[in-house]
Amino acid sequence: MISRKKLIAGNWKMNKTPADGVALVRDIVAAVGKQTDVEVVVCPPFTGLETAGQALEGSTVKLGAQNMHHEASGAFTGEISAPMLRAIFTTHVILGHSERRTLFGETDELVNKKVLAALKNQLRPILCVGETLAEREAGATLKVVQTQTERGLEGVNKDSVGSVVIAYEPVWAIGTGKVATTEQAQEVHAFIRGLLARHFTDAVAQKVRILYGGSMKPANAPELLAQKDIDGGLIGGASLEARSFVELVTAAIAAK
Protein backbone atom coordinates (compact mmCIF):
# COMPACT_ATOMS: atom_id res chain seq x y z
CA MET A 1 0.00 0.00 0.00
CA ILE A 2 1.20 3.50 -0.84
CA SER A 3 1.79 5.58 2.25
CA ARG A 4 0.29 9.00 1.90
CA LYS A 5 1.94 11.99 3.52
CA LYS A 6 -0.50 13.49 5.99
CA LEU A 7 -1.63 17.07 5.39
CA ILE A 8 -2.77 19.62 7.95
CA ALA A 9 -4.34 22.74 6.43
CA GLY A 10 -5.47 25.78 8.39
CA ASN A 11 -8.56 27.53 7.04
CA TRP A 12 -8.48 30.94 8.67
CA LYS A 13 -11.77 31.97 7.06
CA MET A 14 -12.49 35.73 7.45
CA ASN A 15 -10.03 36.20 10.31
CA LYS A 16 -6.66 37.93 10.79
CA THR A 17 -5.29 41.15 9.37
CA PRO A 18 -2.08 40.75 7.35
CA ALA A 19 -0.05 41.69 10.46
CA ASP A 20 -1.90 39.18 12.66
CA GLY A 21 -1.38 36.55 9.98
CA VAL A 22 2.35 37.18 9.79
CA ALA A 23 2.64 36.79 13.58
CA LEU A 24 0.76 33.48 13.44
CA VAL A 25 2.82 32.18 10.51
CA ARG A 26 6.07 33.10 12.30
CA ASP A 27 5.03 31.04 15.32
CA ILE A 28 4.01 28.09 13.14
CA VAL A 29 7.26 28.25 11.17
CA ALA A 30 9.33 28.43 14.36
CA ALA A 31 7.67 25.27 15.67
CA VAL A 32 7.18 23.07 12.59
CA GLY A 33 8.66 24.97 9.65
CA LYS A 34 11.55 22.58 9.10
CA GLN A 35 9.87 19.19 9.38
CA THR A 36 8.97 17.27 6.24
CA ASP A 37 6.97 14.35 7.69
CA VAL A 38 3.67 16.16 7.35
CA GLU A 39 2.60 18.71 4.74
CA VAL A 40 1.41 21.92 6.39
CA VAL A 41 -0.65 24.56 4.58
CA VAL A 42 -2.00 27.85 5.88
CA CYS A 43 -4.95 29.52 4.11
CA PRO A 44 -5.25 33.22 5.06
CA PRO A 45 -7.87 35.54 3.57
CA PHE A 46 -6.82 37.12 0.25
CA THR A 47 -5.52 40.30 1.88
CA GLY A 48 -3.06 38.33 4.01
CA LEU A 49 -1.79 35.89 1.40
CA GLU A 50 1.21 37.75 0.14
CA THR A 51 2.60 38.76 3.54
CA ALA A 52 1.95 35.30 4.98
CA GLY A 53 3.76 33.88 1.94
CA GLN A 54 6.76 36.07 2.68
CA ALA A 55 6.75 35.02 6.33
CA LEU A 56 6.84 31.33 5.45
CA GLU A 57 9.56 31.66 2.83
CA GLY A 58 12.40 29.20 3.40
CA SER A 59 10.21 26.90 5.51
CA THR A 60 8.29 23.77 4.52
CA VAL A 61 4.95 25.45 5.26
CA LYS A 62 2.85 26.11 2.17
CA LEU A 63 0.35 28.76 1.18
CA GLY A 64 -3.29 28.18 0.26
CA ALA A 65 -6.21 30.42 -0.69
CA GLN A 66 -9.79 29.89 0.44
CA ASN A 67 -11.51 30.41 -2.90
CA MET A 68 -10.91 31.72 -6.43
CA HIS A 69 -12.74 32.48 -9.67
CA HIS A 70 -12.47 29.98 -12.52
CA GLU A 71 -11.66 32.53 -15.22
CA ALA A 72 -8.09 33.77 -15.58
CA SER A 73 -9.03 37.47 -15.85
CA GLY A 74 -11.81 39.78 -16.92
CA ALA A 75 -14.81 41.77 -15.74
CA PHE A 76 -15.51 39.90 -12.50
CA THR A 77 -15.61 42.62 -9.86
CA GLY A 78 -14.39 41.46 -6.49
CA GLU A 79 -12.91 38.18 -7.70
CA ILE A 80 -9.40 36.69 -7.71
CA SER A 81 -8.05 34.25 -10.33
CA ALA A 82 -5.76 31.25 -10.27
CA PRO A 83 -2.89 33.01 -12.12
CA MET A 84 -3.10 35.84 -9.54
CA LEU A 85 -2.76 33.30 -6.74
CA ARG A 86 0.13 31.59 -8.50
CA ALA A 87 1.90 34.92 -8.92
CA ILE A 88 2.20 35.23 -5.14
CA PHE A 89 3.34 31.61 -4.72
CA THR A 90 0.09 30.09 -3.58
CA THR A 91 0.16 26.31 -4.04
CA HIS A 92 -3.23 25.19 -2.73
CA VAL A 93 -6.79 26.48 -2.90
CA ILE A 94 -9.83 25.43 -0.88
CA LEU A 95 -12.80 24.99 -3.22
CA GLY A 96 -16.46 24.29 -2.54
CA HIS A 97 -16.29 24.86 1.20
CA SER A 98 -19.78 24.43 2.66
CA GLU A 99 -19.83 28.12 3.63
CA ARG A 100 -19.27 29.00 -0.03
CA ARG A 101 -21.98 26.57 -1.07
CA THR A 102 -24.61 27.65 1.47
CA LEU A 103 -23.86 31.36 1.99
CA PHE A 104 -22.67 32.24 -1.52
CA GLY A 105 -24.71 29.87 -3.63
CA GLU A 106 -21.86 27.84 -5.13
CA THR A 107 -23.14 24.85 -7.05
CA ASP A 108 -21.35 21.60 -7.91
CA GLU A 109 -21.08 22.87 -11.48
CA LEU A 110 -19.32 26.07 -10.41
CA VAL A 111 -17.06 24.21 -7.97
CA ASN A 112 -16.12 21.86 -10.81
CA LYS A 113 -15.11 24.78 -13.05
CA LYS A 114 -12.89 26.06 -10.26
CA VAL A 115 -11.30 22.62 -9.72
CA LEU A 116 -10.45 22.40 -13.43
CA ALA A 117 -9.08 25.97 -13.48
CA ALA A 118 -6.96 25.30 -10.39
CA LEU A 119 -5.42 22.17 -11.92
CA LYS A 120 -4.77 23.97 -15.20
CA ASN A 121 -2.79 26.54 -13.23
CA GLN A 122 -0.84 24.04 -11.13
CA LEU A 123 -2.77 24.84 -7.97
CA ARG A 124 -3.78 21.92 -5.79
CA PRO A 125 -7.51 22.06 -5.12
CA ILE A 126 -8.76 21.10 -1.67
CA LEU A 127 -12.25 20.05 -2.72
CA CYS A 128 -14.71 20.12 0.19
CA VAL A 129 -17.66 17.77 0.36
CA GLY A 130 -20.05 16.93 3.17
CA GLU A 131 -23.63 16.47 4.24
CA THR A 132 -25.89 18.67 6.38
CA LEU A 133 -27.47 17.35 9.56
CA ALA A 134 -30.84 16.97 7.81
CA GLU A 135 -29.19 14.94 5.05
CA ARG A 136 -27.42 12.70 7.56
CA GLU A 137 -30.65 12.15 9.49
CA ALA A 138 -32.43 11.29 6.24
CA GLY A 139 -29.78 8.63 5.54
CA ALA A 140 -28.49 10.54 2.51
CA THR A 141 -24.88 11.10 3.64
CA LEU A 142 -23.17 8.82 1.14
CA LYS A 143 -25.38 9.93 -1.72
CA VAL A 144 -24.64 13.61 -1.05
CA VAL A 145 -20.92 12.97 -0.73
CA GLN A 146 -20.95 10.88 -3.91
CA THR A 147 -22.71 13.59 -5.92
CA GLN A 148 -20.45 16.37 -4.67
CA THR A 149 -17.31 14.31 -5.29
CA GLU A 150 -18.30 13.06 -8.74
CA ARG A 151 -19.60 16.42 -9.96
CA GLY A 152 -16.67 18.27 -8.42
CA LEU A 153 -14.20 16.04 -10.26
CA GLU A 154 -15.97 15.91 -13.62
CA GLY A 155 -13.46 16.21 -16.46
CA VAL A 156 -10.46 15.63 -14.19
CA ASN A 157 -8.28 12.93 -15.70
CA LYS A 158 -6.45 10.19 -13.89
CA ASP A 159 -3.08 11.84 -14.34
CA SER A 160 -4.10 14.98 -12.49
CA VAL A 161 -6.49 13.66 -9.85
CA GLY A 162 -3.48 12.78 -7.68
CA SER A 163 -2.99 16.53 -7.21
CA VAL A 164 -6.47 16.93 -5.79
CA VAL A 165 -7.02 16.84 -2.04
CA ILE A 166 -10.52 16.01 -0.86
CA ALA A 167 -11.81 17.31 2.46
CA TYR A 168 -14.75 15.52 4.00
CA GLU A 169 -16.44 18.11 6.19
CA PRO A 170 -19.80 17.15 7.65
CA VAL A 171 -21.58 20.53 7.71
CA TRP A 172 -23.07 19.82 11.14
CA ALA A 173 -19.58 19.44 12.60
CA ILE A 174 -18.13 22.71 11.28
CA GLY A 175 -17.57 25.28 14.00
CA THR A 176 -20.09 23.55 16.24
CA GLY A 177 -17.80 21.60 18.54
CA LYS A 178 -19.63 18.45 17.36
CA VAL A 179 -17.07 16.17 15.81
CA ALA A 180 -17.99 13.15 13.72
CA THR A 181 -17.14 9.91 15.49
CA THR A 182 -14.08 8.18 14.11
CA GLU A 183 -16.37 5.46 12.73
CA GLN A 184 -18.62 7.99 10.99
CA ALA A 185 -15.62 9.76 9.48
CA GLN A 186 -13.73 6.61 8.47
CA GLU A 187 -16.85 5.19 6.80
CA VAL A 188 -17.22 8.24 4.55
CA HIS A 189 -13.48 8.47 3.85
CA ALA A 190 -13.36 4.81 2.77
CA PHE A 191 -16.45 5.40 0.64
CA ILE A 192 -14.79 8.36 -1.11
CA ARG A 193 -11.65 6.32 -1.75
CA GLY A 194 -13.81 3.56 -3.20
CA LEU A 195 -15.46 6.09 -5.52
CA LEU A 196 -12.06 7.28 -6.70
CA ALA A 197 -10.98 3.70 -7.37
CA ARG A 198 -14.14 3.13 -9.44
CA HIS A 199 -13.82 6.33 -11.44
CA PHE A 200 -10.07 6.33 -11.88
CA THR A 201 -7.83 3.46 -10.79
CA ASP A 202 -7.06 1.85 -7.48
CA ALA A 203 -3.51 3.20 -7.61
CA VAL A 204 -4.84 6.73 -8.04
CA ALA A 205 -7.33 6.25 -5.22
CA GLN A 206 -4.50 5.18 -2.93
CA LYS A 207 -2.62 8.35 -3.75
CA VAL A 208 -5.32 10.98 -3.10
CA ARG A 209 -5.31 12.56 0.36
CA ILE A 210 -8.70 12.73 2.04
CA LEU A 211 -8.81 15.18 4.95
CA TYR A 212 -11.35 15.35 7.73
CA GLY A 213 -12.74 18.75 8.72
CA GLY A 214 -15.23 19.81 11.35
CA SER A 215 -14.25 20.72 14.91
CA MET A 216 -10.94 18.88 14.68
CA LYS A 217 -8.94 19.75 17.80
CA PRO A 218 -5.78 18.47 19.51
CA ALA A 219 -7.99 16.39 21.82
CA ASN A 220 -9.80 14.45 19.08
CA ALA A 221 -7.16 14.51 16.34
CA PRO A 222 -5.04 11.47 17.33
CA GLU A 223 -7.99 9.10 17.07
CA LEU A 224 -9.22 10.57 13.80
CA LEU A 225 -5.73 10.61 12.28
CA ALA A 226 -5.20 6.97 13.22
CA GLN A 227 -7.96 5.88 10.83
CA LYS A 228 -6.82 4.13 7.69
CA ASP A 229 -8.39 6.57 5.24
CA ILE A 230 -8.03 9.84 7.16
CA ASP A 231 -4.99 11.58 5.73
CA GLY A 232 -5.06 14.81 7.68
CA GLY A 233 -7.31 17.68 8.60
CA LEU A 234 -8.80 20.91 7.32
CA ILE A 235 -8.84 22.99 10.46
CA GLY A 236 -10.93 26.10 11.09
CA GLY A 237 -11.15 27.34 14.67
CA ALA A 238 -8.09 25.51 15.95
CA SER A 239 -5.92 26.95 13.16
CA LEU A 240 -6.25 30.50 14.47
CA GLU A 241 -3.81 29.99 17.31
CA ALA A 242 -0.29 28.69 16.84
CA ARG A 243 -0.45 26.44 19.87
CA SER A 244 -3.45 24.36 18.83
CA PHE A 245 -2.45 24.30 15.16
CA VAL A 246 1.08 23.14 15.97
CA GLU A 247 -0.37 20.47 18.27
CA LEU A 248 -2.43 19.21 15.36
CA VAL A 249 0.65 19.06 13.15
CA THR A 250 2.46 17.18 15.93
CA ALA A 251 -0.46 14.74 16.17
CA ALA A 252 -0.24 14.14 12.44
CA ILE A 253 3.52 13.53 12.68
CA ALA A 254 2.88 10.98 15.42
CA ALA A 255 0.19 9.29 13.32
CA LYS A 256 2.23 9.11 10.11
Positions marked active-site: 97, 169
Interface segment toward ligand PGA; rule CB under 6 A; list 62-70, 113-121, 209-217, 247-255: 209-217
Strand, coil or helix: what is 8? strand
User: What is the Cα–Cα distance from 174 to 99, expressed in whole angstroms?
Assistant: 10
Name which of 83 and 218 has its Cβ closer to ligand PGA: 218
Task: Identify which of residues 161 and 234 has a Cβ nearer to ligand PGA in the complex.
Answer: 234
Using alpha carbons, select from 18, 15, 35 the residue that is nearest to residue 246.
35
Which of the residues 71 through 90 are near ligand PGA (CB under 6 A)? none
Backbone φ and ψ for 129, nearest 5 degrees, come out as -135, 155
Quote the CA–CA distance of 204 and 207 in Å, as a whole number.
Answer: 5
Question: Residue 213: phi, psi to the nearest 5?
Answer: -140, 140
Smallest distance, Å, CB 34 to ligand PGA?
Answer: 25
Q: Within positions 225 to 244, which residues make up the interface with ligand PGA, using CB under 6 A?
A: 234-238
Q: Which of 174, 180, 221, 248 binds ligand PGA (CB under 6 A)?
A: 174
Residues 123-157, buried b or exposed e (16+ Cβ, 10 A)? bbbbbbbbbbeebbeeeebeebbbebbbbbbeebe
* 252 in contact with ligand PGA (CB under 6 A): no
Residue nearest to ligand PGA (CB): 236
The answer to whether residue 185 forms part of the interface with ligand PGA (CB under 6 A) is no
For ligand PGA, the closer of residues 13 and 204 by Cβ is 13
Taking the least distance from each CB to ligand PGA, the nearer of 192 and 204 is 192
Is 96 a residue that touches ligand PGA (CB under 6 A)? no
Nearer to ligand PGA, 117 or 216 (CB): 216
Q: Which residues pair with 128 in a beta bridge?
A: 167
Please, which residues have CB within 8 angstroms of residue 75's CB and are 6 or more apart in sequence?
Answer: none
Question: CA 80 to CA 78: how far, in whole Å?
Answer: 7
> Could you tell me the smallest distance in angstroms from the CB atom of residue 14 to ligand PGA?
12
Name the minimum Å distance from CB 65 to ligand PGA. Answer: 14
The DSSP call for residue 39 is E
Q: Which residues of the shown chain bind ligand PGA in the complex (CB under 6 A)?
A: 11, 169, 174-175, 213-216, 234-238
